[in-house]
Amino acid sequence: MTWPAPTRQDHEIFCKNEGWQPVRTARGSTGTHHVTYELHLLDGRILRTRISHPVNRDTYGAQIWSHILRDQLDVDQASFWACVQDGVAPGRGIPQPPAEALPLDLVHLLLTRVHLSEAEIAAMSKDEAIARMQQFWTTDTYVPRGISATSLPPGQALVNWREVDRQLGQGPIPVRADFDHDPGSSSTSGL
């Protein structure tokens, strides 16, 4: 595609449309020979471009223009003209937040309590993750990480949350008979 001859005025329109900021000297002036603009990028780089006075319809030569595009503005011709003519700012890798990110606490619970893998959690929507956590709280049993439920005797190191809730509503949870626990001593060994 052929583009019109770039002018100083087009250069300034580009800078204003994309949100470049004019740079001032230490004394607060904008300078006498050039208008200077800066653009702070998210990756930490700062782009700087200079437009000779007066900002008018004078055109740039091909070599200086390719230098300005490549080294100062960091865009291609199509992006430059889309910004100047249509007001469309160039895509500079601005990250878009996920539409429905999972809260960190929910991810932590799914990892540590439900023992889902990170890949399984990443594939879930927020509603699916909440439903899975609710299912865990109402029907599942808790198996501490690193322990297989099939390798344990029934009732050992497993917690059924529905049973805990039922027992908490009726007073203290009874201690199993196979623990060494003397109700009269202050020692809690075996718990």
pTM: 0.49
Question: How large is the average pLDDT for residues 118-146?
Answer: 80
Instruction: Give the domain ranges of the chain.
Output: 8-86, 104-169
- The residue whose two tokens read 């607060």 is 28
Q: Is 155 left (phi over 0), alpha (psi -120 to 50) or beta?
A: left
- Residue 114 confidence (pLDDT) above 90: no
Q: What is the pLDDT of residue 19?
A: 93
The Cβ of residue 51 has, within 10 Å, a number of other Cβ atoms equal to: 22
φ and ψ at residue 12, rounded to 5 degrees: -70, -40
Q: What is the pLDDT of residue 175?
A: 46
Q: Is 74 left (phi over 0), alpha (psi -120 to 50) or beta?
A: left
- Residue 161 confidence (pLDDT) above 90: no
Question: How large is the average pLDDT for residues 152-179?
Answer: 52
Q: What is the mean pLDDT of the chain?
A: 78
Question: How large is the average pLDDT for residues 129-147?
Answer: 73
